[in-house]
A and B are shown apart, each in its own frame.
Chain A
Amino acid sequence: AQKVTQAQTEISVVEKEDVTLDCVYETRDTTYYLFWYKQPPSGELVFLIRRNSFDEQNEISGRYSWNFQKSTSSFNFTITASQVVDSAVYFCALSPLSAKIIQGAQKLVFGQGTRLTINP
């Protein structure tokens, strides 16, 4: 079974603080992809990152960084020096390769999301 857990339902911090959003996943596939999406109040889903299960290198993109640890099945997301515009719901998602092989289509399993509020 595939499952993504985002234990933090809501996080509220003051602007300029660093904040880490946790994501823990479960899968029996040895090859899979992990994603993070941002959903601002307007409702659209914004793609942030995709990570292949064979690539455990951490990634940094501006104020965003991702820590992928296969040993703990975690793919955490850190925002450095947070800004009010970072306020949104953030979703972590998993896509097992087996779904793509069997059904020819990548299927995303989403976590419940973390609502992040950055206060001025």
Chain B
Amino acid sequence: SQQGEEDPQALSIQEGENATMNCSYKTSINNLQWYRQNSGRGLVHLILIRSNEREKHSGRLRVTLDTSKKSSSLLITASRAADTASYFCATLPMNSGGYQKVTFGIGTKLQVIP
């Protein structure tokens, strides 16, 4: 089963609007990352937020983390057509012992209409 589950599964907005995507997870995490994937391509890392952080910014991106609710949100402000892509959250569970147990969600498909 997926550790991270994104919501919504698909989102369509007008250029200039803000887009918000959510990610929920089940177990305690060490950190959470957001990635973007353009159609049929590899994933591009966007931002990493650690379990002791609550909010992080990178350009037009804002990520929040609520460990009590086991959820994170990715906000893209002033969206552009080029932001059209799928967005994934990836979680690294706590105490993974240094071994790779990063788990990706199914993703949110964002469409930004010009």
Asked if chains A and B come from one complex, the reply is: no
